[in-house]
Structure 1
Amino acid sequence: MAPASGTNAAAQPESADAELARGAYLATAADCVACHTKPGGKPFAGGLKIATPMGDVVATNITPDPQHGIGSYTEADFENALRHGVRKDGSYLYPVMPYVSYAGMTDQDVKALYAWFMHVVKPVAESPEETNLSFPASLRSAMMAWNFVASKETPETGDSSTYDTLRRGRYLANALEHCGTCHTPRNFMLSEKQDHYLAGGSLGTWYAPNVTSSKTGGIGDWSEDDLVAYLRSGHVAGRAQAAGPMAEAVEHSTSHLTDADLHALAAFILKVAPMDDDADHTARDAAGKAAEMPDIRTKGPQRIDDLAEMDGPHIYDANCSSCHGHDGAGTKDHYVPSLFNNSTVGAGRPDNLIMTILKGVDRTAGTEHAFMPGFDGQSNVQRLSDAEIAALTNYITATFGTGDHQVTPELVKSLRKDTPVVNPLAKGK
């Protein structure tokens, strides 16, 4: 459903098939499946646990099952939940469901999305466990007060497929892809700081970086084609690779958008007002160079009886150099990325590098699959201790990035357990 050129005329009636096709595309653009499907679970049946400062919010079943899902919802009920965060029973949804963004959807698109969920999605007779947050968030009625202070998108009008490029890009970014949900920092009420739109925000263990047009803190040095390539594949050689939540967004959502929509989204994002960053003072993808140092293995076999004596270079050599190369240049075909000119390694915050080492990368976009094993002990590769990952992170950033971040084992431990703490030694913290 690529946006066509034309006027912003009122939405025209669609055939049933066209409406369902539109609904399918909208569900993909809105990335509904990412939050409402738990690992190994059935699509849209809920159960995924989403960490918040007040506890885990458990995603609900949004299949058309009448008892366990939303099968009994009328279109008005659906619209109230989607745009206003209020369930059919009158209780309030938690804003991890980005209804503040979906509020900007057009009436025509809400109608198409409802039709697709009700007539195409397969019902699943499963009820996820209930969300149980700490007080006062445990009182869903408290969300009524939050809704009064939270900024919501204003509903768009007309047929969204006929918008001009920048209007279409804004619609995709704000109403559907809800980019600000992750990339905009939040205030003490956990509402997005609209005056810092897309300036970067903490996701707990991961960090959604500044993607404003700042040439130092953001992605102002990227071309539109660079950003399109990243949204399509999750990879731009010499710039960035998607991991964690962004890899999921690429895999489930942006890699399925039309070329016209990808260019519209990229064109809009690259026009967002520049916002400098507290931690990144040079372009994240401009840091570092190939390592120029003797190979530590040329000294012959060495026995290290105490693993605590393993330093950063030895840990890198044993676990990383076979893929990324001793010099950090990666592979010639860029399947294994370079560690210099790499936005994760060159970032002023070490969070995403630590999380990538812990969790690895497993991203599929179209026919392209990117994989790196995680070293948290959950896969079949060697488990690295908190001290080893701290030493490895500091070695990588010092050798290929912006310097030694003085990451501590305590910080790694907190990220491994999904209970991040502030690292007072890290830049920008």
Structure 2
Amino acid sequence: MPDFKNILWSALIAGTALGSLALAPAALAQSSAPVQPAPSTRPEGVEAELARGAYLATAADCVACHTMPGGKPFAGGLKIATPMGNVVSTNITPDPVHGIGSYTEAEFENAVRHGVRKDGAHLYPVMPYVSYAGMTDQDVKALYEWFMHSVKPVPQDTEKTRLAFPASMRSAMVAWNFMARKEQPETGDSSTYDTVRRGQYLANALGHCGTCHTPRNALMSEKHDQYLAGASLGSWYAPNITSSKTGGIGNWSGDDLVTYLRTGRIKSRAQAAGPMAEVVEHSTSHLTDADLHALATFIKQVAPIEDKLDHTPRDAVGKAADVPDIRTRGPQRIDDLTEMDGPRLYDANCAACHGQDGAGVQDHYVPSLFANSTVGAGRPDNLVMTILKGVDRTASGAHAFMPGFDGQSDVQRLSDTEIARLVNYVTATFGTGDHHVTPEQVNTLRKAAH
């Protein structure tokens, strides 16, 4: 029997969901505004349907996976690293040769809802068709019309996905699809749903929050009895976002959650980085206030599930540290930079922005390191990844930036040993305590992100 767990591991680390309230691909080098259809003289009803399609594409965050850094919208080519090789996103512009321009509406629906291409080949569930299966017929039609008539065709082919055996056998998806639980198609006009039903539709069918935030079983299907209880994405960790007041976000108000989804940050609570920063930038920050409140209302009423490691609210940990400035001790010779301890690493790389006491800056552009859901988490994964990858998020007109220390930017590269020491110092000083992170753990996360 094929190893379905290896075949579908790519689905967990692809970052295609409402990532991490932390899935996903590198930040896109493009405008954060959703692509808008060009002005036309089409009848009003047609224009309304195209506008609906554009909004649905934004809510479903299609652009995140189908646009490579610096590339044209929806032209594909984004490489999503998995242990079995790179899954390369396809061109979904209406170009008839390289994209989906020759798809009929029925063929489009089959791909979106069932994960089957025009040629009959099965898609990998990196494409969250298991969630999109819940879309209404009306919304699938509007999405199809928008892609076919408003998205600019790009005559550009993409590199083929070549995964190691057994993941290379797309036919194995037939068996997995038979066993996987899919969302049931909703009915009626989704824009007229009541608040909770609309929020559920946004979370499950369009935003596919569970793709990242729900843990998986041995066959890599979502554990529906642990809905939104948190899951590893290989490098980042999508945390528990149930209504648990300790392990989840039960101590957040609905307005807190709306603010987070609109801006990517809540003062003295959380800041979006990694996959979730991309979701905020390209998707949730463009939703209407009504839809943001509907989404928040639904998520807030999800049954609480206690977390195995987070027994205290992640954003209620720590305080400003009374740390003496180590520079007052006088110069000290360090022959090998890898021997720098945590305090010196923090002073050299973090203190200039976050302060020696970890309080950040007054306007919170640079957040504090205490009362911070990343530093206060029982798992160090997202703190390691934030140090490695930094933050580069634009939402609601505000830009948040922190350089990464993985050597991919202009700042100095920190080694696995240095990052482990820095993480342990930061969590011991401002968070829940020394996590005893090892260089090997950092290296594993570093590799998983490439």
TM class by smaller structure: over 0.9
| Offset of residue 285 of structure 1 | 0.5
Equivalent residue for 1:48? 78
Identity %: 80
Whole-Å separation in 2 of the counterparts to 1:145 and 1:215: 39
Matched, 1:360 2:394: no
1:243-322 alignment runs, 5 A limit: 243-322=273-352
CA deviations over 1:43-79 (Å, ceiling 9, x no partner): 1111112233433211111000001010000000000
Whole-Å separation in 1 of the counterparts to 2:84 and 2:228: 24
User: What is the letter of the counterpart of residue 94 of structure 1?
Assistant: Y
Whole-Å separation in 2 of the counterparts to 1:319 and 1:308: 14
User: What is the letter of the counterpart of residue 322 of structure 1?
Assistant: A
Whole-Å separation in 2 of the counterparts to 1:388 and 1:176: 40
Backbone CA RMSD of aligned residues: 1.3
Corresponding residue pairs, total? 408
| Offset of residue 240 of structure 1 | 0.3
User: What is the letter of the counterpart of residue 31 of structure 1?
Assistant: D
Matched, 1:25 2:32: no
| Offset of residue 42 of structure 1 | 1.0
CA deviations over 1:365-399 (Å, ceiling 9, x no partner): 02100000001111111111111110000000000
CA deviations over 1:77-96 (Å, ceiling 9, x no partner): 00000000011111100001
CA deviations over 1:254-306 (Å, ceiling 9, x no partner): 00000000000001001001011111111110111110122211112322222
Whole-Å separation in 1 of the counterparts to 2:216 and 2:406: 29
User: What is the letter of the counterpart of residue 68 of structure 1?
Assistant: H
CA deviations over 1:296-331 (Å, ceiling 9, x no partner): 111123222221321000000011001000000000
Whole-Å separation in 1 of the counterparts to 2:371 and 2:449: 30
1:47-126 alignment runs, 5 A limit: 47-126=77-156
Whole-Å separation in 2 of the counterparts to 1:21 and 1:293: 54
Matched, 1:324 2:354: yes
Equivalent residue for 2:401? 371
User: What is the letter of the counterpart of residue 199 of structure 1?
Assistant: A
Partners of 2:261 and 2:292 within 8 A in 1: yes
Whole-Å separation in 1 of the counterparts to 2:278 and 2:174: 30
Matched, 1:179 2:209: yes
Matched, 1:234 2:260: no
| Offset of residue 209 of structure 1 | 0.5
Equivalent residue for 1:6? none
Among 188, 191, 211, the alignment partner of 2:241 is: 211
SS of residue in 2 equivalent to 1:186: coil
Structure 2: stretches of 5+ with no match in the other structure: 1-42
SS of residue in 2 equivalent to 1:362: strand
Decide which moves more: 136-145 or 238-247: 136-145
CA deviations over 1:395-419 (Å, ceiling 9, x no partner): 0000011110111111111222227
Q: TM-score scaled by structure 2? A: 0.89
Equivalent residue for 1:4? none
Among 386, 390, 394, the alignment partner of 2:424 is: 394
